[in-house]
A and B are shown apart, each in its own frame.
Chain A
Amino acid sequence: MRVSLFVTCLVDQMFPQVGEATVELLTRLGVEVTFNPEQTCCGQPAFNNGHRREAREVGAYTLRVFERELMSSDYIVVPSGSCATMIKNLYPKLFGEDAVKEATAKRIAPRVFELSQFIVDVLGIEDADTSRSGCVTYHDSCHLKRELDVSSAPRKLLSSVRGVEFVEMDRADVCCGFGGTFSVTFPELSTAIAQEKIASIERSRAETVVACDSSCLMQINGLLQQRGSNVRCMHLAEFLAARES
């Protein structure tokens, strides 16, 4: 089993440890991971802002990169629900006017998976075979839950971690308020929404909050840090990869 990693531009530039943890985790689970350094971005920032021309240009580039990867890898794995959604669900629509690209997008879509979805649904693994301590809760990122319909996979994996108490926060699937450039255009509103998420996290009494999207984690962590909170934010890959000593 060989997969090609789409690390995503956010992880690549800001949270490389998430990429690293993804590689370690998948390797530990018996998967060979390869990485094409020509990759850049799925194009979602432009697409979400209505700039479809630019989104298509960047998307076409990324489509080429991963079309090539799939000649020597079985799957594309993405440690991000929103980026996986972009390629899997939105590329066919984005390239709707270009028959060739649309066909390519439709062809590769079934082989693109978000990380937790890949581990549980493709590898069939629900036990992450690791241990940690403490109380952890999970935030459903919007695209992952509503576009990819993934909500039980991450929970299964988290619950399997030995020594960890998994608790559900209330309103776990309510948006964190990031929304990409939404947080720049409407920063106070973005923060106000995030505050509700923080309140849910605090009510859960968890020491760590895990999510599958670094953008959500960045948003949540930003607010937690500013409040001087002790609650840690971790990507699922990080939580499952490293064994605590």
Chain B
Amino acid sequence: MLHAIESENFVENQRGALENPHLQRAMTKATEKFVAARVKLEAGDSAQWNRLRNRAREIKELTIANLDHYLDEFAANVERLGGHVFWAADAEAANRYITHLARQRGVRLAVKAKSMMGEEIGVNHALAASGVEPVETDLGEYIVQLAGERPSHINMPAVHKTRGDIAELFAEKLHVGRTDKVEDLTSLARRLLRERFASAGMGITGVNFAVAETGTIVLIENEGNIRLTTSLPRVHVALMGIEKIVPRLEDLEVFLKLLPLSASGQKLTAAVSFLTGVKDAASEEGPEEFHVVIIDNGRVEILANPHLRESLFCIRCGACLNACPVYQKIGGHAYGWVYPGPIGAVLTPQLIGRKRAPDLPFASTLCGACKDACPLKINIPEMLLHLRHEIKEGSDGVGASRKEERPRRTRLIRQLVNLAERAAFKLWAAVMQDAGRYRRAGRIARIVQRVFGQRNAAGDSTLPIKRWTRTRQLPQLAPGSFTSRWPEISRRTKRETND
């Protein structure tokens, strides 16, 4: 199913998320586990953690700076070893290739491993529209597919659901007796999905890392569904963002350690698959065909922006989500598209256009917990600040692409608010650049405060303040500013010193 992009409704959505008791129950439980995992990580070998991070960063910086070279090397090796490479400029191109391939090979059923890129290009919808049934095999993805929802986390797609929610969902959609035991829910999914694996004509995965020098793609997992997806069906299609490249086989070590550690506190996931080309003989195991779809979909534009290029370092570990006090409260769906949390707030406006996600970069206190948690030390707060600057100071040209359409609902209010805000800051700047004006403004504000008194709760205050005062006391200006009292303070402290 095609999910609508909801990022422009972020303000409404996050409020809805806060008022949703199911979600709040699930996120509270999830947050407890996030916090515990973080504590465990910090108690671990911090020297190793820092070493890995520094090394990973070094490799990524050099790789991205030479991305064309390494991508070309990778593609040449894939083709040399019997694989096919398709260079997709955007989602439409990628989906056209995949559905055409499926049609040509008579594929009726495609099994899918979890792929954020797959979500991004909407491959499930494209497949369904062309008569191919896509079946998600990762348990979390299977759950959200049943529920008709997007995943709400990069690694734990169903983290927004409690076990009770899932039990109810399975009972309803799978027509089984309800069970709340995690083991039973898991075995049910396993049993049902096993049958699908065996009859699928195509397996679709993402790519965690792609090794340029050997033409190898690397996939990590715990469930085993990636191994099944890449060994049972005759055709394997791997969806890859241009930034997944790693130069050498040995460069993988750092990433193979960082990603599981960061994502789930594991030394290594239960399985890591290194897939290179196509098998030598028909009698060997493995798919007969291997296709890598290298996808741009807005990444080259990100690359072109030196202030935001670092967002391509992301290895999709989800640690920033787990650490974010905003994500912990509102969950992933409020962000309205594929990538939630801090990295989502940075990627979404770039990939779907700033005009379609203008609130996301502002949905942050800039606390920096994400930057602390990030294995690649991506400076998300700095990028959020830069996006805010681009959005507010109207760098419309930057990031303008075919995706920068007008939002479906023309928000006149938003435009008016933006104008008012711009005027307000101009006034503010005028006041703050002049000590005399600043003092006068302070005096005027105190008069206004005296006249209108303290306002609590809903009442006479204007809209934004009203919402503030509903939840807290409105702070007051002190009767006399520090500046006005300085002469007296100065005299008093000098006197006390001399005593």
- If A54-B425, A186-B363 touch, whether A13 touches B478 (CB-CB below 8 Å) is yes
Contact B326–A189 (Cβ < 8 Å): yes
11 A-B residue contacts at CB 8 Å? A23-B493, A24-B493, A37-B486, A40-B431, A40-B435, A50-B385, A57-B432, A179-B367, A187-B470, A191-B471, A222-B475
User: Which B residue sits closest to A20, measured CB to CB?
Assistant: B489
Q: Are B473 and A226 interface neighbours, CB within 8 A? A: yes
Interface string of A115-155 (1 = CB under 8 A from B): 00000000000000000000000000011001100000000
Size bracket, chain A contacts: 35 or more
Interface residues contributed by chain B, number (CB under 8 Å): 64
State in angstroms the CA–CA spacing of A137 and B113 once bound together.
47
- On whether the beta carbons of B493 and A27 are closer than 8 Å, the reply is yes
Contacts of B489 in A (CB 8 A): 19-20, 23
- Near A by CB (< 8 A), chain B positions 450-488 give 464-465, 467-468, 470-473, 475-478, 480-483, 485-486
Judge whether B433 and A50 touch: CB under 8 Å: no
In the bound complex, residues from chain B placing their C-beta under 8 Å from that of A27 are 493, 496-497
| Contact of B326 with A193 in the complex, beta carbons under 8 Å | yes
Residue of B nearest to A193 (CB): B325
Assess A57 versus B429: contact at CB under 8 Å? Given A183-B468, A191-B471. yes
> Is B18 engaged at the interface, CB distance under 8 Å to the other chain?
yes
**Interchain CA distance A79-B111 in the complex, whole Å:** 59
A218 is an interface residue with CB less than 8 A from chain B: yes
Would you call A188 and B493 a contact (CB within 8 A)?
A: no
A contact residues around B425 at 8 Å (CB):
46, 49, 51, 54
> Pick the contact of A185 from B18, B362, B371, B471 — CB < 8 Å?
B362
Q: Which of B282-290, B308-316, B386-394 participates in binding chain A? A: B386-394
**What are the interface flags for A38-62 relative to B under an 8 Å C-beta threshold, 1 for contact and 0 otherwise?**
1111010111111111100110110
Chain B minimum-CB-distance residue to A11:
B482
The interface centre, meaning the residue of A12, A45, A185, A191 with most chain B CB atoms within 10 A of its CB, is A12
Q: Mark B381-409, 1 if CB is under 8 A from A, else 0.
A: 00001011111110000000000000000
Verify if B301 is at the interface (C-beta below 8 Å from A): no
| Chain A residue at minimum C-beta to C-beta distance from B431 | A40
- Chain B residues near A187: list those with CB within 8 A: 464, 467-468, 470-471
Determine if B477 and A225 form an interchain contact, defined as CB atoms under 8 angstroms apart: no
Is B369 a contact partner of A20 (Cβ separation < 8 A)?
A: no
- Tell me if B188 counts as interface (CB < 8 A to partner A): no
Question: Does A177 contact B365, Cβ atoms closer than 8 Å?
Answer: yes
A175 partner residues in chain B, CB cutoff 8 A: 325, 365, 367, 369
B367, B385, B387, B428 — which one has the most chain A CB atoms within 10 A of its CB? B367
CB distance from A108 to the nearest CB of B (A): 18
Determine whether the beta carbon of A16 is less than 8 Å from that of B390.
no
